[in-house]
Amino acid sequence: MAEFYDRYVKDAWREPDFDIYKKFSLVGKVGMVTGGGGGIGRNTAAAWAAAGADVALVDIPAAREHIDELAAELAKKFSVRVEPFYCDVSQPEQVEKLRADLVEKMGTIDIAHINAGICMMGDDVDASLEVWNKTVAVNLTGAHLTGQMAQQIMREHGHGGSIIFTSSLSGYNANFIGGGPSPVYTYGATKAAISQLARYMGAALAPYNIRVNTIAPGYVWSGIHEGVMTEQGHDMCLEVVPMKRFGLTGDLQGTLLFLASDASSYITGINIPIDGGYSIY
């Protein structure tokens, strides 16, 4: 038998201490979530904290009071360390300060959910340059800056890691509602770019044992629709969703835990739609 065969364990389940659930544990890991105060971000933080990770909860300085309270609530509920951090991800100098603060207070970053993003009013095919520039600055430049920061910390500390970007169904579909295009012109462009950014990062960082993947949520009831969406608009959205409901933020948590954990140790550079079947069409 060739010697290289010995590298591969074919039946790990035969080992006496085999426990598949241990692969999903994040005990001893430190996670970072940008856009941590939003519906998706805080549910990522909750899933990772429940799995045993300490979490750095990152959001804009204007959200300080909310993030302080949320970090304390998560830490108390899950008996892990959850620390608030404040950063406008579109501003390089703030990201550089965040990097120093993270290393000082958390020690390192093992897993990162690059999730901060905006979708502005007036973002249709006639979007102003102001809408374009602001959306690109936060969604794409911010993703680049914080994703780069996370992988550099992982490489410098030599422990590998997992980075997960938030894309969107709008990044792979020109989604229509009620027979017309959704006003997500610039937003959709940035989300498509994020998926490709993750592929390149996944390829470049694989030798360092850093995995990079993307989730693409569909219509998820994260809180941004409340007070804005009408019942008619709600029903129009669901016309193209085979499961005939909006997703819940909890529907994302399993995938976010999976991609952060050793359960996905041989997965990098992919995009996972979480859209109730929207992408079937």
What's the pLDDT score for residue 66?
Answer: 96
Query: 113 near 49, Cβ under 8 Å?
Result: no
| Residue 115 burial class via C-beta count within 10 angstroms: exposed 0-12, middle 13-18, buried 19 and up | buried
CATH code given to domain 25-273: 3.40.50.720
Q: CA-CA distance, 234 to 251, in Å (whole number)?
A: 18
List the one residue out of 160, 189, 163, 161 whose CA is nearest residue 174.
189
Q: What is the pLDDT of residues 55-83, one digit of tens each?
A: 999 999 999 999 999 999 999 999 999 99
Q: What is the pLDDT of residues 215-253, one digit of tens each?
A: 999 999 987 777 777 888 888 889 889 999 999 999 999
Q: What is the pLDDT of residues 73-126, one digit of tens each?
A: 999 999 999 999 999 999 999 999 999 999 999 999 999 999 999 999 999 999
What average pLDDT does range 47-58 have in this prediction? Answer: 98
What's the pLDDT score for residue 227?
Answer: 73
Return the SS3 of 224: coil
Q: Is the predicted pLDDT of residue 201 greater than 80, yes or no?
A: yes
Q: Is the predicted pLDDT of residue 1 greater than 60, yes or no?
A: no
Q: Provide the phi-psi class of 177: left if phi over 0, else alpha when psi is between -120 and 50, else beta.
A: beta
Q: Is the predicted pLDDT of residue 151 greater than 90, yes or no?
A: yes
Confidence tier at 14 by pLDDT (50, 70, 90): very high
Q: Is the predicted pLDDT of residue 178 greater than 70, yes or no?
A: no
Q: CA-CA distance, 214 to 163, in Å (whole number)?
A: 8
Per the residue annotation, which of 90, 162, 167, 168 is the catalytic one? Answer: 168
Alpha-helix runs per DSSP H in the chain: 39-50, 64-78, 92-106, 129-136, 142-157, 185-205, 231-238, 250-260
Is 191 annotated as catalytic? Answer: yes
Residue 76 neighbours by CB under 8 Å, 6+ apart: none
What average pLDDT does range 188-203 have in this prediction? Answer: 97
Per the residue annotation, which of 29, 167, 185, 191 is the catalytic one? Answer: 191
What's the pLDDT score for residue 222?
Answer: 86
What's the pLDDT score for residue 226?
Answer: 74
Q: Is the predicted pLDDT of residue 211 greater than 60, yes or no?
A: yes
What average pLDDT does range 173-190 have in this prediction? Answer: 84
What's the pLDDT score for residue 180?
Answer: 73
Is 22 annotated as catalytic? Answer: no
What's the pLDDT score for residue 177?
Answer: 72
pTM of the model: 0.96
Per the residue annotation, which of 185, 187, 219, 278 is the catalytic one? Answer: 187
What average pLDDT does range 254-261 have in this prediction? Answer: 98
Q: Is the predicted pLDDT of residue 174 greater than 90, yes or no?
A: no
What average pLDDT does range 34-41 have in this prediction? Answer: 96
Percent of the chain with pLDDT over 70: 99
Report domain extents, the chain: 25-273
What's the pLDDT score for residue 173?
Answer: 87
